[in-house]
Structures are given as C-alpha cells and as structure tokens.
Structure 1
Amino acid sequence: MNRWFAVILLCLGLSLWSTSARADELRPAYIEMTEQSPGQWTLLWKASANSRLGRNGEIILPENCKATDERKREFAASNILTRLTLKCKGSIQGQAIGLKGLELSSTDALARIAPIDSAMQTVRLTPAQHVATLEKPSVISNVAATYTIIGFEHILLGFDHLFFVLALVLLLKGGWLIAKTVTAFTIAHSLTLVGTTLGFLSLPSRPVEAIIALSIVFLAVEVVKAKPDDLRLSERFPWIVAFLFGLLHGFGFAGALAEIGLPEGDVPLALLTFNLGVEIGQLAIVALALAVLHGLRKFQPSWLHPAKTATAYGIGIIATYWFVERMIA
C-alpha cells in the first residue's frame, strides 16, 4: 500500500511540475560586438521579448567605448534586437563587457567580440557573473569550451529531449541495447541539426515541437504497456524508432541553437562542440538513470516496476500538456 501511495505522490508531483517545467528552456541572450574599421564598432544584442531581460536589460560597455548614435530597437520573431554604433579609443582588451539585469534573470548570455586585428572571442555571462573581462583568448579553445557547455546544458534543461532519453532507458533492457539506441538518436538529431543550421533543411517550428512532445507521449505509453512476454514495436526495433524521432528532435535542437547564435567563421567548430556537449549530457542522463534502476533492482526489487510506471506516467502527463499547449498556442 505504501509503495503505491508513493507512486501516486510521484505522479502528482510530476504533473504539478509540468506547469513550470518548459521544454527547450535554454534561451540565452546574445551580444555581438564587431569592429568595422579601427576604433569603429557595431553592437547587436538579442533577448527574448517575453523576458524582463529583453524589456529592461542594458549593455555594460567597455569603459573606452561610447555610443555615437541612438540605439535602435526592433522585434524579430520572439526577440527584441538592439543595435548601437560605437567609437572605442584604443584596444578593448582588458576592458569589461556585461549585461545589466542578467543578475536578476535565470538565463545566460553569450558575448561575441570580433576585433579586426586579433582573434575573435566568445565569452559566457551568467546571473552569477554578468560582467566579463576581455582577454586575448585562444579562439579555438574558447569557442569549443563555450558551445560544449551550451550543448551539455541544453540536453539537461531542454526537458523534452531529456524525457525522451529517459523514457528509452526505462523501456529497454541491457546496457548495449540502450547504447545502440541512444547512438541512433544522436546520429539522427545531428543530421537534422547540421542540415537545418547550414540552411539545407527547414520545417516550421510549431508543428515540429508538437510532434516532439507526441514522441515522448508515445514512449511513455510504451513503457507503461510493456510486458516481458510481448515485445512492443519500440522494444523490437528501438534504434529505428529512436532514429526516426531523433530526426525531429534535431529540428528542436536547431531552433534552440538559432536562438543562441553561431560565431561567424567558426560555425563547424561550434556545431561539432555543441553536439559533443549534447552527447555528454545524454550519457550523463543514461548513466544516472541506469544507476538508479540498478540500485532499486538490488536493494528494493519490489519497487522497480512501480517506480518505472510512476515515472512513465509523469513523463507522459507532462508531454501531453506540452502537446496541447503547442497545438493551441
């Protein structure tokens, strides 16, 4: 009785959490400062129009830089774009750039600085560190580290992708089978991510996001209805199911990456390391889920099936909420 009471509480908790948990939550602001001629710079910064940061945030400029005209603001999709022309005396290395208002938000910001006579720099601003000093970096290691972290965070904070991977782990048995299936998912979403980012593929985002939610509902149902003596479609051909749905999830990753922005001249490196970060995040999810299941199997085997069922119901309820929300939005 206590076991099923815990199951019910878990389902209720996950259902309530669905009102605040959102898919693809990683939507950082983006700052781009480009030197057009010696001492003459253009600045662009982008933030969600629905956020306090987009409405009230302000750029903290290097001390030796002054705006030479009024800022221009415009709406583009769901973002507010702000443009400025700057005149900077001397080098901006050693100066600080930041985003006032970021410390009050729950998002991050990327700042891309492109001088004429030195390497481009990409710095990451966070609520805990909303101002950064512009040093002379190694452009390769800087971009690689930044986009690896972004990819890792996206798989952990983009809840729909996390839930899909978690549902695969709940459904399948055997580490090797899970590894092959997650690899198929990775290959598929990498293909559509690269194709979309480079402009070879395109699908409207709203129906894609709705179908992604539906793919999670499908897997959750498969977990709940799974029987040891009657393998379901996703258990018989898991890598095919993961690959097909992975193609759609790749469009979701591409949408998130489009919101972040890619550094010109380093698009291949940014794509590669973003994918690497996503893969590291997926492996972390799989390892953690397998460890929890192994612990239940070893110390509380009678809890294993109820725990899987409760988690699948919770995932299914949240994904259904997302599907309805995306269909009517």
Structure 2
Amino acid sequence: MMAAVGAADVAAGPSLGFLPLMSLGPAFASLVGGWRRTAGIGVIALLLCAGLGWYEELSDVRRGSMTIASVIGVTAAGLVAVSMRQKREAELDSVRSIAEAAQRVLLKPVPRLAGQLRAAVSYMSAVAEARIGGDLYEVVATPHGVRVIVGDVQGKGLEAVETAAVVLGAFREAAPDETDLAEVGRRLERAVDRQLDGEKFVTAILAEVRGEEATFLNFGHPAPLLIRADTTVTWPEPPAYALPLGLGAHGTVRPEPYRTDFLPGDQLLLYTDGITEARDEDGRFYPLEDRAHLLKDNDAESALETLRQDLLHHVNGPLHDDAAMLLLRHRPHHGGTTPDAGLP
C-alpha cells in the first residue's frame, strides 16, 4: 500500500500531495500485526516520506511537517490499538480455556465400551467458536444395565448450559442408584422442575440396555433410529409422547417405559433435533433414515464421522442448531461379520 502511494506521489508530483496517505501503512498494520510490526511499518513510512520529500525538493516546511506528524500520530494510535486488541485476545483465550474445562466437566467423553455396548458420540455447536451448548448426552454402566441419556435444552447460551448441567448431574446420580428407569425419569423431572421457570423445557430420551432388550423413556424427544444387523431400519416410538422435562406442572401423564429387542449386531442412534431438522439450500430436511447405511464402518467413531460429514454436506453451510449424536452398537458375543465383531 505504501509502495502504491509512493509511486502515485512520484507520478503526480508534489502538487497533489499524496504523502499523508503513507499513514495508511501503520494504520492497517495495527489490525493484523503486533506492536513491533506496527512500529516498524511506521518507521518505514517516515523514511519514505522523508526520502520522497527530498527527491521532490519539497520546500513547503509546514506541509512536510504535517505529513510527518500524521504518520507519527497514526502510528502511535495504532500501537494503542494493538495493545487493546492483544488484551482482548488474551481475555478471549482465557474464556475459551474456561469453556473447554467446562466442557470436560459437563460433557465427559463417553466410554468406548460399556458392557456389551460399543459407544461413540458426535457433538456440533451451531456457533463455530462455541465449545458447549444446550445439547447433552451421557452413558453410564450400572448394575441395572447400561443407561444413556440424550437431551436438548430449550434456548442457547449460558442459561442453557446451566440447565444441561442440572439434567446431567441428576442423571449421573440417579442412574446407578435406581432399579427402575421410570424412577430415574422422575428424579430428572424433580431436578428440572426446581431449576426451570415459566415455559422453558428440556426434551430428553433415556435408554436402558440389559441383555438383548432396550427400554426407553421419552420426554418429548425424537424417536431413536434402530438399525438391525440385516440393515433394516425401525423407529422405536412410545405409545404416546409425553411433554418435555420442565412442563410437568401442566398435569399431563408421565411417560411410560417401552421396550424393543436390541440384538447383537444391532445399532441404536440417539440424536437431537438439530440432526433431523437440518435443511439444505432448498429447505429439505436431512433424510436420516436414508443415510442409515453410512453407519457401516467397522469403527464406530469413523462411522459416526461419516454421517456427520454427510450432514454438513447436506447443509452446505453453518448449522442453525446444536446437533448431537450418540451411537450404540450391541457387540456380538462371538466373531462375525457385523460391525465391531472383531472387538474383544
């Protein structure tokens, strides 16, 4: 930029006075560089002004002084701006570190193996810079079977994160203690009712896998996707959908547990509505059932990553809602050709 200003000044001569535009160099340097770079560009701008003034035999002392003063003033302002920008960047790095620590506490990595289950999880925030959001998940191996939860808190921001922490805390405490999955759900209801006010709510689905059977408890959450070993796809749905957590004050009937077979080689995908409600450029929802065949990789994480990439390709842009997926695979007792059959 300064070279262009210098060339224009030489071509036009001293009559037009392009030299004050040399201050654009340190001005733009402060936006992307540190204080050393900004100060260095300012010194170069001063030398160019002095050199071009001598070359053009600039005799107007007042005009030359104003040019030098403008470059010095902009350079000084740039150094102040650099200091303020670096301070904000340091504060942002600190906030991101805290967010990452909060994520490790709130959304712990799920166990790769839980009983006869192989688990994998994928979480995508609607905000590119965000580390955590309102979606939640957990897998707990208990004496009563492997119990999992996937949920979606209404709203975004720190308030949603706080509510997600309440739900996960209540689930982690109740899952190992209660012999009945319905009682786990009731403890979640009580915890959320104490936390939420007004019309805020949390959709959630609880699942318990014991032997070759899966039991579900659905609080207004999308039905899971069950992929059989022979690749047929079903959607285990409750007889009637109950209201989400937090809306129990409306006096509706509580959700009732319902069951389905979950056999060796089967896969169960629990997810939030950020998956099924993701739209492409033409407004079409993501066809999750048609993409179930993508979960064929022997490695559960790789299979889930393939599905995630396909979702992002479908959207072809940023997500408009948080999206979480939890994949459970029932490992066969003996070797076979089904996914994860080679795992111990």
Same fold (TM over 0.5): no
Higher helix share: 1
- Normalised to the residue count of structure 1, the TM-score between the two structures is 0.30
Taking CA–CA contacts closer than 8 Å with sequence separation of 6 or more, which of the two structures ends up with the larger relative contact order? 1
- Normalised to the residue count of structure 2, the TM-score between the two structures is 0.29
